[in-house]
Amino acid sequence: MSVVNDAREFATAPAEYFGHSWHAMHHLERDELEELQLHAMRLRFEELRDRIPVLDRLASDQRIDAIDRREDIVGLLFQHTVFKSYPASLLVKSKFAPITKWLDRLTTHDLSQVDVSQCRSIDEWLDVLDSETELRVAHSSGTAGTMSFYPRGASEWRQMMDGIKCGLFQFSDPLDERDHSEDYFDLIWPLFRLGRSAITRFPEQALPVILGSPERLHALRDGRLSSDGMFLAGRLAAAEARGEVDQVDINPALIERRDDFVREQRELQGALDRFVNEMARELEGRRVWLLATWNTLFNMAQAGLDAGMESVFAADSLVSTGGGSKGQALPEDWEETVKRFMGVDRIQHAYAMTEMAALNRMCEHGRYHFEPWIVPFVLDPDSGELLPDEGEQTGRCAIFDLMAESYWGGTITGDRISLDRSPCTCGRTTPHAARTIERFSDQRGGDDKITCASSDEAHAKALDFLTDRLA
């Protein structure tokens, strides 16, 4: 196989490339992995430059015509704010034609003929994109008062799920030669069955690959979590934090639906005790997968223990989590509470974000290992310069998601991480990050200006090009 074909399969279908073995994914020699990643980044740049105009503009302004070294990609990493760079007033006023035009500039999927003129809500707009295109847009939670929209395609979602399934129940580092691609699991999902944020897209996309059938998805509530409701809640919370609730600009149609959104959230919380009892009765003793944030896991476990339920599921069940406590004060031993209720001896933590198609799982030594199709970088938070590759480096996390073949996978994130590229104590050879990961906006009072060193002007021009003449 040629280097180009090798790199293409590695980037596009990593599960197949590694024989569906998570062990194989995380035991390439560093030089071999970095060579594959470099060839794959070069391939993505060559294939996407002429198809994503804003990428071409950014490359042209910096005179970047080839990716010869890892460092060459840094100037082409999009700031994460690019994915919410449309004028916020368009979303507030439900003007989805110009937002679709903006999104069309970030993807190779042709959106020019998609008619969204009748859409009056975010939910309706995403309904149209889901039904008439191959896009399955993932949006952020909207907690900053607006939403990021990531144009991930259906095929990229499937490859993501294929990759996540590899070693899903694996914590330590045994060499498992069995092919688990035909194994399926029951997922306990304490949220709406459907949604379109990055996390709420998960069950629907996992169904054909990880779950196998709709009967294996056990959701707290049927139906779809409203993207409009998330946008309204985020916009009101951001305005309240600024002390400007009376001045916030909100579509009157959303205000009319506010009581419905509040009622749905109240019902969701109120149904948790019932849900715990139903799952314990229906799935008792079975091997299950429970995926939720820290606070939801603790609340479920506490409700179960209060009802006298303990060690409910099979000991080889999986509890996956990430995202923190969402503002809820949790006891220091919250994990022990969850393990006692579930009947498991460990919890699988993962580092994930909307910007990348991966769950980067924590090993038995408390380090988040980046999946091999995610190329991590650490940038100086003040200058934007790439920090050295040797030793543990702390700074701004940037990533290149090689799995992205219909949009540009290079992103500068808002996270502060400590990254080490040397082999981990656990034996895995992939780059790994310390457990403590923080948001720069939390450190800086909500302000997180991203510096891109010498490329600031080029990024500004690219952003102007992306948002030009949308109205």
| Model confidence pLDDT, tens digit, residues 141-157 | 877 778 999 999 999 99
Interval 333-348 mean pLDDT: 96
Decide which of 1.20.120, 3.40.1350, 3.30.70, 3.40.50 is the CATH code for 3-270+346-467.
Answer: 3.40.50
Evaluate if residue 447 carries a pLDDT over 60.
no
pLDDT tens-digit map of 258-281: 777 777 777 777 789 999 999 999
pTM score of the predicted model: 0.92
What is the pLDDT at residue 179? 64
Nearest C-alpha neighbor of 190 from the set 278, 309, 287: 278
pLDDT tens for 241-256 read: 666 655 666 677 766 6
Match 């895995």 to its residue by tokens.
Answer: 428
Question: What residues are paired with 360 via a beta bridge?
Answer: 351
Strands 410-420 and 78-79: parallel
Q: What is the pLDDT of residue 3?
A: 65
Which pLDDT score is estimated for 382?
Answer: 86
Task: Indicate whether 171 pLDDT > 80.
Answer: no
Per-residue pLDDT, 229: 86
Answer yes or no: is pLDDT of 452 > 90: no
For the chain, which residues make up each domain, given as ranges?
3-270+346-467
What pLDDT sits at residue 170?
78
Residue 326, pLDDT score: 72
Tokens (6 digits) for 88: 């916020």
So what's the pLDDT on residue 118? 94
Question: CA-CA distance, 58 to 49, in Å (whole number)?
Answer: 10
- At 188-244, the pLDDT tens digits run 999 999 999 999 999 999 999 999 999 999 999 999 999 988 888 777 766 666 666
Q: What 3-state DSSP class applies to 388?
A: coil
Give mean pLDDT, residues 287-306.
Answer: 94
Quick check: 205 and 158 in contact, CB under 8 A? yes
Q: Name the 3-class secondary structure at 230.
A: helix
Quick one: DSSP state of residue 81? G
Q: What percent of the chain has pLDDT over 90?
A: 70
**Range list of H helices, 105-223:** 122-132, 154-165, 202-206
Q: Give the Cα separation of 160 and 248 in Å (integer).
A: 38
The rounded distance, in Å, linking the Cα atoms of 206 and 288 is: 14
> What's the average model confidence in pLDDT over 82-101?
92
Average pLDDT on 398-418 reads 96
Q: How confident is the model at residue 78 (pLDDT cuts 50, 70, 90)?
A: very high
- Quote the pLDDT of residue 445: 54
455: pLDDT strictly greater than 90 = no
pLDDT for 239 equals 63
Helix ranges, 214-352 (H): 227-242, 252-256, 258-270, 272-283, 294-306, 334-342
Instruction: Give the per-residue pLDDT at 5.
Output: 75
Mean pLDDT over all residues of the chain? 89
How many angstroms separate the CA atoms of 239 and 224, rounded? Answer: 26
- Do residues 310 and 341 make contact, with C-beta atoms less than 8 angstroms apart? yes
Q: What local confidence, expressed as pLDDT, does residue 294 receive?
A: 92
> Where does the pLDDT of residue 178 fall: very low under 50, low under 70, confident under 90, or very high at 90 and above?
low
- C-alpha span between 262 and 236 (Å, rounded): 12
- pLDDT beyond 90 at 406: yes
Query: 381 — phi, psi (to 5°)?
Result: -70, -20
- Give the pLDDT mean for 98-113: 96
pLDDT at 420: 97
pLDDT at 13: 95
Residue 192 near residue 223, CB atoms below 8 Å: yes
How many residues are listed for the chain in this entry? 471
Tens digits of residue pLDDT in 423-437:
999 999 999 999 999
**Predicted local distance difference test score (pLDDT) of residue 247:** 60
| pLDDT tens digits, one per residue of 111-140 | 999 999 999 999 999 999 999 999 999 998
Look at residue 359 in the predicted model and tell me its pLDDT.
Answer: 94
